[in-house]
Amino acid sequence: MNLKKGNYSLLVKGGRLIDPAAKIDATMDVLLRDGLVAEIAPPGKTRGTAHEKFDARGLIVAPGFIDLHVHLREPGQGYKETIATGTAAAAAGGFTSVCCMPNTQPVVDSPEWVTWLQQPERGAVVNVFPIAAATHASKGAVLTDFRALQRAGAVGVTDDGKPILNDGVMRETLRLSSEINLPVIQHAEDTRMTDRCSMNDGPTAFRLGLRGMKAAAEASIVERDVQLAQQFTGARLHVAHLSTADALKAVRRGKRSKSQVTCEVTPHHFALTDADVGEYDTNFKMNPPLRSDSDREALLVALADGTVDAIATDHAPHAPHEKIIEFERAAFGITGLETALGLAIIHLHRGHKIPLSRIVELFTAGPARVFSLRGRGTLIRGSHGDVTIFDPQKRWTFDAAKSHSRSHNTPFGGAQLTGKVVATIVGGRVVYRAD
Amino acid sequence: MNKAARGSLLGIEHLGAQDILGLLKLARRMNPLKPRPLLRGKRVLLLFYEASTRTRSSFEIAAKALGAMTTLVLSSGSSIEKGESLLDTGYTLRAVGADVIVIRHPQAGAAALMARYLEIPVINAGDGMHEHPSQALLDAYTIVRSKKTLKGLQVAIVGDIYHSRVARSAIHLLSKFGARITLCGPAEFLPETATSLASGLHITRTVEDAVHSADVIMTLRVQKERLAGTKISVQDYVSRYQMTMARLKLAKKDAMLMHPGPIIRGLELTWEVADCPQSAIVEEVRNGVPVRMAILAKALGRAR
């Protein structure tokens, strides 16, 4: 068998194909050839032959999942994660494409680093789409060269980890990016209101004696950005890791206007609340923080009704010495690639009766649309051969110690999940297969 | 998450009423003037990342009164200054033979972190804005000596409750015994969420209402630099919340006036109030020693 690209085919047989972009939810065979989708047909009806077959009976076959928000930590922080380990975790979680954040060391603010991230030497096992810094060193002052970054492969710009706080700088970012159809991803946090804060403002923060981040610190930035985006035709504002009911209201207003406003929600924000911080468990510390129960309820409604465009993990690996320390000093962030699907099925499908097709949309067509990832997020003929195959009934326990990520800072170690990835296919080839 | 080492005292919140009564009973049997060698040969490590007069000296005297050796480690002048982490400092102190660590730290949860990773008991001598359990226990001890009970007492807590670990511990403790607690302070120092801390809490912004027919008044220290971050001037605070003789008279005739120290005369209370016959401020400090003897004996399983 010749494994060179351009001469390999794989037939995924007998699975229930859910492709929301193509409005398909039926038992279908999917033939992948030359890295692309060659044919979709009812069982046994594909015309071509395949080198290999994958028996997907009883399983869901979906377009490859796309994660808009991942920290792969390279360049510079390989002790937390590398592109190789991070993408291995992505594959195990069913993600065939990840968009990586630029808050590395150094910050990815030049075309050279954007190119570097995509080189084969990095050892990525899934597609990596770099997001570049919006300002030099993400200091929030001097804009980077958006055109050059886009040409090098950047799918968006952001200063993630920090907001683009200054009104004038954010206006310029939206204006320049609107000219080249480049999404701006905002980490919405008015840091003037969150100084020394380590969790959500509320009863748990008061009880623990921790300074609390108010929901208004997120909502006020989203409100401002939605207004600014309306000033420029073609501006694309994407709100990262949205976590509060008030910010959702601003996004809904933005979606009713002519500007393109999108948002993502993380699994931990729809699965947990600030009360789960318990007794200073730093695996429950991230930014934005876990919010109140009413915020969580609002996110569940918005995930169901279409306000939310994508589920994104904000996978943020950290080493033990950055997490097993005093709560207020501990790094923000948790890993999330391997638990996203299981949490979505438990909390959204089982818990809140959101149909599987909508959940698949939030992992596929939704995120593909946000960053205009052409030929992805769907399996119509001619698309990239990225496929996620999962068992929606499978109950399993997540063992953090066996994570493919270099880091194990997750609040879901030992969690009972429902819905497990069986195989992940990138460019027509299986890159992950569950034992 | 690991469980805290056995014998640790991290806060009042998760203690049962029986645990608290047990400690208070044990404290009554402790007399600093009549040393009991319950902890002979034991090493008590006092690890202080923050300034302290009362807590530090009374833990040290309490340990010595029980026959233990004490060693003091301060953040300045130790490897902590060189960037050693809290847990590494803890492992070091355990390795030199600490049987118990008493820790004061500016960050909430520091004592809990240490107790989860060291296999020796850890006593929280104040962690950030979180809890100061030995202070709450000595305050309860002081109140019970005078009032015989905590149940049904009307308690006013006045001042900067938000930043106060003393207030959080006191509220947990008094609430467990059915005291009726009124919290009083400006919104910046007393957010509405404070009532979620325990059952039966009330908030008032008027100090006269808070102290009216109170059995116990707890005043808290106000840091001028914290006022500076609010819209309230020092003069405003003094005129609205300072404990004066006139305000004290609104309380019950035999009301106790308490303060965890250090007191700032002329800010949260007047000079006269600090020294008046109803003031229990010095008594609180004195009672700190037998209460901390009880805490140390209990932590090391030598409660007799």
Whether residues A207 and B117 touch (CB distance < 8 A) is answered with no
Mean pLDDT of all residues in A383-404: 98
Mean pLDDT of all residues in A36-49: 93
CA-wise closest residue to A402 among A392, A412, A388, A391: A412
DSSP state of A21: G
SS (H, E, C) A348-377: HHHCCCCCHHHHHHHHCHHHHHHCCCCCCC
Q: Does A281 touch chain B (CB under 8 A)?
A: yes
Per-residue pLDDT of B98-144, as tens digits, reads 999 999 999 999 999 999 999 999 999 999 999 999 999 999 999 99
Closest partner CB to B196 (pick from A203, A209, A328)? A203
Angle at B170 between CA B165 and CA B174, to 5 degrees: 160
Q: Which parts of A145-266 fold into alpha helices (H)?
A: 146-152, 167-179, 203-208, 215-229, 245-256
Whether pLDDT at A290 is above 80: yes
From A29, A67, A309, A314, the catalytic residue: A314
| Distance from the A70 Cα atom to the nearest Cα atom in chain B, whole angstroms | 25
Higher pLDDT, B81 or A262: A262
Could you tell me which chain B residue has the CA closest to the CA of A321?
B85
Mean pLDDT of all residues in A376-393: 98
pLDDT attached to residue B151: 94
Could you tell me which chain A residue has the CA closest to the CA of B172?
A207
| Percentage of chain A exceeding pLDDT 90 | 97
pLDDT attached to residue A435: 82
Task: State the best of B193, B196, B197, B225 to mutate against chain A, taking most chain A CBs within 10 Å.
Answer: B193
- As a whole number of Å, the end-to-end CA separation of chain B is 32
pLDDT attached to residue A304: 98
Task: State the best of B113, B164, B172 to mutate against chain A, taking most chain A CBs within 10 Å.
Answer: B113
Per-residue pLDDT of B145-171, as tens digits, reads 999 999 999 999 999 999 999 999 999
Mean pLDDT of all residues in A48-55: 92
| Distance from the A199 Cα atom to the nearest Cα atom in chain B, whole angstroms | 12
pLDDT attached to residue A90: 98
pLDDT attached to residue B226: 85
Q: From the centroid of its chain, how far is CA A142? A: 27
pLDDT attached to residue B1: 82
CA-wise closest residue to A129 among A100, A106, A109, A149: A100
Per-residue pLDDT of B231-264, as tens digits, reads 899 999 999 999 999 999 999 999 999 999 999 9
H or E element in which residue B205 lies: none
| Distance from the B65 Cα atom to the nearest Cα atom in chain A, whole angstroms | 32
pLDDT attached to residue A341: 98
Closest partner CB to B108 (pick from A202, A208, A325)? A208
pLDDT attached to residue A6: 56
H or E element in which residue B225 lies: helix B224-228
A159 is catalytic: no
> What is the ipTM metric for this complex?
0.97
Angle at A401 between CA A400 and CA A407, to 5 degrees: 75
Q: Does A412 touch chain B (CB under 8 A)?
A: no
Distance CA A422, CA B109 (A): 41
Question: What value does the mean pLDDT of chain A take?
Answer: 97
CB-CB neighbors (< 8 A) of B194 in chain A: 206
Q: Which residues, 6 or more positions from B82, have their beta carbon under 8 angstroms from its beta carbon?
A: none
pLDDT attached to residue A254: 96
Could you tell me which chain A residue has the CA closest to the CA of B116?
A324
Closest partner CB to A280 (pick from B105, B113, B197)? B113
Closest partner CB to B193 (pick from A203, A279, A280)? A203
| DSSP-derived 3-state class of residue A109 | coil
Closest partner CB to B130 (pick from A203, A209, A281)? A209
Whether residues A321 and B196 touch (CB distance < 8 A) is answered with no
pLDDT attached to residue A86: 98
Structure tokens at A335: 């890993």
Q: Does A411 touch chain B (CB under 8 A)?
A: no
Distance CA A89, CA A82 (A): 11
Angle at B150 between CA B145 and CA B153, to 5 degrees: 115
pLDDT attached to residue A2: 40
Number of helices (H), then strands (E), belonging to chain A: the values are 13, 19
Whether residues A209 and B191 touch (CB distance < 8 A) is answered with no
pLDDT attached to residue A223: 98
CB-CB neighbors (< 8 A) of B86 in chain A: 325-326
Q: Which domains does chain B have, with CATH numbers?
A: 17-131+288-299 (3.40.50.1370), 134-284 (3.40.50.1370)
Whether residues B168 and A207 touch (CB distance < 8 A) is answered with yes
Per-residue pLDDT of B6-21, as tens digits, reads 999 999 999 999 999 9
Q: Does A202 touch chain B (CB under 8 A)?
A: yes
Mean pLDDT of all residues in A409-435: 97
Contact A342, A420 (CB under 8 A): yes
Per-residue pLDDT of A187-212, as tens digits, reads 999 999 999 999 999 999 999 999 99
Residues from B contacting A (CB-CB < 8 Å) are 1, 13, 85-87, 105, 107-110, 112-113, 117, 127-131, 162, 165, 168, 191, 193-194, 196-197
| Distance from the A329 Cα atom to the nearest Cα atom in chain B, whole angstroms | 9
| Distance from the A194 Cα atom to the nearest Cα atom in chain B, whole angstroms | 14
Mean pLDDT of all residues in A355-364: 98
Q: Which domains does chain A have, with CATH numbers?
A: 9-61+384-433 (2.30.40.10), 64-370 (3.20.20.140)
Contact A427, A3 (CB under 8 A): no
Mean pLDDT of all residues in B279-286: 97
Distance CA A381, CA A40 (A): 7
| Bond prior to B262 in cis (omega within 30° of 0) | yes
CB-CB neighbors (< 8 A) of B197 in chain A: 203, 206-207
Q: Does A320 touch chain B (CB under 8 A)?
A: no
| Distance from the B246 Cα atom to the nearest Cα atom in chain A, whole angstroms | 32
Per-residue pLDDT of B183-239, as tens digits, reads 999 999 999 999 999 998 999 999 999 999 999 999 999 988 888 888 899 999 999
Whether residues B108 and A202 touch (CB distance < 8 A) is answered with no
pLDDT attached to residue A1: 38
Whether residues B196 and A328 touch (CB distance < 8 A) is answered with no
Closest partner CB to A328 (pick from B1, B107, B193)? B107
Closest partner CB to A206 (pick from B128, B131, B197)? B197
Pairing state between β A132-133 and A9-19: unpaired
Distance CA A294, CA B63 (A): 48
Whether pLDDT at B77 is above 90: no
